[in-house]
Chain A
Amino acid sequence: MAINRLASALRTLGVLTGSLAANSAFAGWGELNMTRGVTPISQQQYDLHMIVFWICVAIGIVVFGAIIYSVINHRRSQGAEAAQFHENTTVEVLWTVVPIVILVAVAIPATSTLLSLEDTSDADMTVQITGYQWKWKYDYLGEDLSFFSNLSQESRDGIKADPYAVENYLLDVDKPLVLPVKKKVRFVMTSADVIHAWWVPELGVKQDTIPGFINDSWAYIEEPGVYRGQCAELCGKDHGFMPIVVIAKTEPEYNQWVADQKAAAAAAAASADREWSKQELMAKGEEVYNSACASCHQANGQGIPGVFPGMVGSSYTTGPVEDHIDIVVNGKPGTAMQAFGEQLTAAEVAAVVTYERNAWGIDTGDVIQPTAIAANK
């Protein structure tokens, strides 16, 4: 009887917690443990995590149980007389040897997981991941396909407004990394500036991207879906604002996506050939400025004194146009100023340079056409 009642109580509790988890306002309370993920590696990691966790719980019960027993039964207020023993070789050997045995038992599965985690051989395809302050670049090696992935504008707008109004706040990007399922995908990683770390919990991949060096890792995604992650190594001001989104698709859908991307890239290249109006350039320029430049130079063009120079009062925005285009396209080595030539299309560079020379009261009146950039790039 008692068991029945307990079982029904547990069921009720399960329904309750389930409904709590379903209610988005309470979703956070259920976030207690590591995700099991969608790759063989992430699942092995989860299993190992739980094994070590339960070992710790067991040891904790013994140790804390002994403390609680002493605290209750060996207290002076209960009239306990202190024994005077202060060593016992048998016990001391035992509690040295038993932990060693437990550790060896943990080390065996840990070793095999580590070896498979590090085995990047025989991959079906390779994606190069490059960390930038504060965005990711993905190159599909051998595919002539490459793009940057930034924090989505909706998330950026939500930072100072209402984060709860934004779906996947801070975990959404403008262009996600798309990968096929059931393929061994190898990632080679590097960085253009400081050290970042590419982490997607459900893939079980976390690897530092290091300037001047190449690291690798891999994932075999078993189910289609959207998997979100973040940069996991402090990389400066906007470290918290460079999420990762991986969309896993079936192979035919993936192939279709690749074809679509190539067509879109060709269309963008074509737009560089036509003449743009100043109005068009200013509108596009503001958009580009806010996504690519504002995190350092600030939306009001003032920069952050001592860290990031402002646009207003700078010799670049009022001096010769060539120098301005040059620093945008090629960056300034040894500083946080990146070479945007590879991140932005010719039209985008033209638009942002036009914008920077005509916004915040700078008003040089200069209009830069995409064709002029294409010639310089």
Chain B
Amino acid sequence: MSTVATAHADEHHGAPKGITRWLFSTNHKDIGTMYLWFAFTMFLIGGAMAMVIRAELFAPGLQVVDPQFFNMMTTMHGLIMVFGAIMPAFVGLANWMIPMMIGAPDMALPRMNNWSFWILPVAGTMLVSTMFMEGGGPAFGWTFYAPLSTTFAPASTDFFIFSIHLLGFSSIMGAINVIVTILNMRAPGMNLMKMPMFVWTWLITAFLLIAVMPVLAGAVTMMLTDRHFGTSFFDAAGGGDPVMFQHIFWFFGHPEVYIMILPAFGIISHIIPTFSRKPLFGYSSMVYATASIAFLSFIVWAHHMFTVGMPVAGELYFMYATIMIAVPTGVKVFNWVATMWKGSLSFEIPMLWALAFVILFTIGGFSGLMLGVAPVDTQYHDTYFVVAHFHYVLVTGALFSIIAGVYFWLPKWTGHMYNLKLATFHFWWSVIWVNVLFFPQHFIGLAGMPRRIPDYATQFADWNMISSIGGFAFGLGQLLFLYIVVSTIRGGEKASTEVWDGSDGLEWTVPSPAPFHTFATAPEVR
């Protein structure tokens, strides 16, 4: 009798009120929401910096900012988008969806969940505050190569280092939570090879995070001791090596780029089957391809460094290993296409974004393959061709998948369907302008424009202007996204439990909006 009474009491235990609901939250949905709002805020700040960059590059000559400030903008834009926007957004989606997808009542370690979120605003504020310190914020690129980031860096670099440490703590704790939740809290009957793809990709991503965030922490710690405690890890004059910094950084950095794309693969692997009304093609090969990509990500890091003067054997090895990534990545793309093949397709908003993802991410993959060919990378390296490449995989890849995921799950979160006309407009506006923004950057890169320069020779002017126009329009369009999301939270047409007619999975069995507590009793999976 007493157990029944407790269960009864729990059902009536709704969301706490006031600021403490958020400050002390241990609820995976509330924490997920906070992650997503934090990510969106940082996305707008990083986006504003991108607007400054594109304004300065609108025409040759210096009109808007001076070069030091420009370098700070490119640096902060990169850091904020990677560590502040994309990564936290995926963690937010993981918090919201993983427990509901595996039939768990919450994350396994709810208090650590709170802690790993609340570190973020502190670290983010510290990072942004460096811009207002004497000498300005970090201006050495998001890759912060030594010795530009050690001997030659402004005093605020120490705050940058500390904020990277904090962001790392947050990521590691988030990753531990994801792993513990997935491995221990799945509903009875859900064995590993029955897990939804988003859960699988996040499980693998979490292992990548635990493996490489400490490496990044090590790199910035060595920077700190080089700057203040007389060590010479990255200074040849003291017996160190500036290139070692790059090896350590990219040993973190390459898995990091997969950290930002594997969960995207997961989201897309949910959306395409839903709107094709057909099971995902090659589920097990999807799992193995994800695992192979994760493994390969650890052994290809120096393809970011083909011009540092590695021994030729090293360059050959890194070239071969790098182009091999095309195989599992190709398998994923082919699987998505085969899922659509002979399906019964409809083009709701999430499907539009997912289709754009598959096509545009593949274009980013093509330029990635080209960049992997070491002797030609001599020409591509550090040009706008690289900028175009990683924005295709990160903006039309990672970001598009996040937006697709939000449009896919927003009715489940809020209980309301969004304004379809506005959302359709948001899609077409974004997909057109993002290509106007980034496609010409392939041209100016191949034609010889280096990246990270505030001013350029006049032959690059025309395509830079086009790119800037695309940038302003794309940036503006994301304010519409904010409006759509806010108005959906406030009201709108009621969403059903299933939301979509092809939906499949435990998350679509709970009411819309998803109650504060779900799956207090584990569901049975057959």
**Could you list which residues of chain A lie within 8 angstroms of chain B, going by C-beta atoms?**
26-29, 31-35, 41-42, 44-45, 48-49, 52-53, 56, 59-60, 63-64, 66-67, 70-71, 74-77, 80-88, 91-92, 95-96, 99-100, 103, 106-107, 110-111, 113-115, 117-118, 133, 158-164, 168-171, 193-195, 197, 199, 201, 204-208, 210-213, 215-216, 229-241, 304-307, 334-336
The answer to whether B95 has its CB under 8 Å from any CB of chain A is no
The answer to whether B158 has its CB under 8 Å from any CB of chain A is no
Report yes or no: A207 in contact with B309, Cβ–Cβ below 8 A: yes
- Chain A residues within an 8 Å CB radius of B347: 71, 75
Given that A28-B458, A87-B282 are contacting pairs, would A63 and B362 also be in contact in the complex, using a CB cutoff of 8 Å? yes
**Chain B residues with a Cβ closer than 8 Å to the other chain, count:** 100
Report yes or no: A212 in contact with B455, Cβ–Cβ below 8 A: no
List of 5 A-B pairs having minimum Cβ-Cβ separation, nearest first? A212-B236, A306-B135, A240-B453, A28-B462, A306-B134
- Interface stretch (choices B46-54, B96-104, B323-331, B484-492): B323-331
**Binary flags per residue of B123-142, CB closer than 8 Å to A gives 1, else 0:** 00000000001111001110
Report yes or no: B379 in contact with A71, Cβ–Cβ below 8 A: no
Interface residues of B in 351-396 (CB under 8 A from A): 355, 358-359, 362-363, 366, 369-370, 373-376, 378-379, 381-383
The answer to whether B412 has its CB under 8 Å from any CB of chain A is no
- Interface stretch (choices B35-43, B188-196, B258-266, B337-345): B337-345
Report yes or no: B148 in contact with A235, Cβ–Cβ below 8 A: yes
- Chain B residues within an 8 Å CB radius of A86: 278-283, 339
The answer to whether B522 has its CB under 8 Å from any CB of chain A is no
Given that A28-B461, A99-B330, A307-B136 are contacting pairs, would A114 and B374 also be in contact in the complex, using a CB cutoff of 8 Å? yes
Given that A34-B446, A92-B331, A334-B151 are contacting pairs, would A45 and B309 also be in contact in the complex, using a CB cutoff of 8 Å? no
Report yes or no: B375 in contact with A236, Cβ–Cβ below 8 A: no
The answer to whether B45 has its CB under 8 Å from any CB of chain A is no
Report yes or no: B341 in contact with A70, Cβ–Cβ below 8 A: yes
Residue of chain A at shortest CB distance from B145: A195
Report yes or no: A114 in contact with B241, Cβ–Cβ below 8 A: no
Give which listed residue, B308, B324, B338, contacts A210 with CB less than 8 A.
Answer: B308
Report yes or no: B61 in contact with A238, Cβ–Cβ below 8 A: no
Report yes or no: B242 in contact with A204, Cβ–Cβ below 8 A: no
The answer to whether B511 has its CB under 8 Å from any CB of chain A is no
- Chain A residues within an 8 Å CB radius of B447: 31-35
Complex Cα spacing A161 to B315, Å: 44
Report yes or no: A304 in contact with B68, Cβ–Cβ below 8 A: yes
Complex Cα spacing A239 to B454, Å: 9
24 A-B residue pairings within 8 Å (CB atoms): A28-B463, A29-B463, A33-B447, A34-B447, A56-B366, A56-B369, A63-B333, A64-B359, A74-B340, A80-B345, A83-B278, A85-B342, A114-B375, A118-B315, A159-B61, A160-B62, A197-B381, A212-B237, A212-B242, A213-B241, A216-B309, A237-B71, A241-B455, A306-B133
Report yes or no: B243 in contact with A210, Cβ–Cβ below 8 A: yes
Interface residues of B in 237-255 (CB under 8 A from A): 237, 241-243
Main secondary structure of the interface of A (DSSP, over half): mixed
Complex Cα spacing A306 to B69, Å: 13
Complex Cα spacing A92 to B288, Å: 12
Report yes or no: B379 in contact with A234, Cβ–Cβ below 8 A: no
Report yes or no: B60 in contact with A34, Cβ–Cβ below 8 A: no
Complex Cα spacing A27 to B136, Å: 37
Q: Give how many A-B residue pairs fall within 8 Å (CB-CB).
A: 309
- Chain A residues within an 8 Å CB radius of B212: none
Report yes or no: A75 in contact with B346, Cβ–Cβ below 8 A: yes
Give min CB distance, A257 to chain B, whole Å: 25
Give min CB distance, A206 to chain B, whole Å: 5
- Chain A residues within an 8 Å CB radius of B312: 114-115, 118
The answer to whether B349 has its CB under 8 Å from any CB of chain A is no
Q: With contacts A45-B375, A193-B147, A210-B309 known, what are 8 further pairs, Cβ within 8 A? A: A45-B376, A74-B345, A80-B344, A99-B330, A159-B61, A207-B307, A229-B448, A236-B148
Report yes or no: B443 in contact with A336, Cβ–Cβ below 8 A: no
Report yes or no: A233 in contact with B382, Cβ–Cβ below 8 A: yes
Report yes or no: B134 in contact with A305, Cβ–Cβ below 8 A: yes
The answer to whether B277 has its CB under 8 Å from any CB of chain A is yes
Residue of chain A at shortest CB distance from B501: A76
Give min CB distance, B228 to chain A, whole Å: 12
Give which listed residue, A70, A117, A239, A336, contacts B375 with CB less than 8 A.
Answer: A117
Give which listed residue, B283, B324, B355, B452, contacts A234 with CB less than 8 A.
Answer: B452
Complex Cα spacing A95 to B326, Å: 11
**Binary flags per residue of B273-305, CB closer than 8 Å to A gives 1, else 0:** 000111111111100000000000000000000
Residue of chain A at shortest CB distance from B289: A96
Complex Cα spacing A52 to B462, Å: 27
Give min CB distance, A313 to chain B, whole Å: 16
Residue of chain A at shortest CB distance from B443: A32
- Chain A residues within an 8 Å CB radius of B358: 67
Report yes or no: A201 in contact with B448, Cβ–Cβ below 8 A: yes
Residue of chain A at shortest CB distance from B74: A234
Interface residues of B in 9-32 (CB under 8 A from A): none
Report yes or no: B343 in contact with A211, Cβ–Cβ below 8 A: no
Give min CB distance, A135 to chain B, whole Å: 15
Report yes or no: A66 in contact with B341, Cβ–Cβ below 8 A: yes
Give min CB distance, A238 to chain B, whole Å: 6
Report yes or no: B71 in contact with A103, Cβ–Cβ below 8 A: no
Give min CB distance, B93 to chain A, whole Å: 25
Give which listed residue, A33, A110, A169, A195, contacts B373 with CB less than 8 A.
Answer: A110
- Chain B residues within an 8 Å CB radius of A113: 375-376
The answer to whether B472 has its CB under 8 Å from any CB of chain A is no
Report yes or no: B148 in contact with A53, Cβ–Cβ below 8 A: no
**Binary flags per residue of B184-219, CB closer than 8 Å to A gives 1, else 0:** 000000000000000000000000000000000000
Given that A32-B447, A92-B282 are contacting pairs, would A197 and B61 also be in contact in the complex, using a CB cutoff of 8 Å? no
Complex Cα spacing A211 to B355, Å: 47
Give min CB distance, B357 to chain A, whole Å: 11
Given that A75-B345, A76-B345, A107-B319 are contacting pairs, would A195 and B242 also be in contact in the complex, using a CB cutoff of 8 Å? yes
- Chain B residues within an 8 Å CB radius of A232: 307, 381-383, 450
Tell me which of A66, A91, A95 has the highest count of chain B C-beta atoms within 10 A of its own C-beta.
A95
Complex Cα spacing A298 to B498, Å: 65
Residue of chain B at shortest CB distance from A307: B135
Give which listed residue, A201, A208, A306, contacts B379 with CB less than 8 A.
Answer: A201
- Chain B residues within an 8 Å CB radius of A92: 282, 285, 331
Report yes or no: A307 in contact with B68, Cβ–Cβ below 8 A: yes
Give which listed residue, B62, B148, B344, contacts A82 with CB less than 8 A.
Answer: B344
Give min CB distance, A90 to chain B, whole Å: 12
- Chain B residues within an 8 Å CB radius of A31: 443-444, 447, 459-460, 462-463
Report yes or no: B379 in contact with A45, Cβ–Cβ below 8 A: yes
The answer to whether B425 has its CB under 8 Å from any CB of chain A is no
Complex Cα spacing A211 to B346, Å: 58
- Chain B residues within an 8 Å CB radius of A307: 68, 135-136, 154
Residue of chain A at shortest CB distance from B319: A110
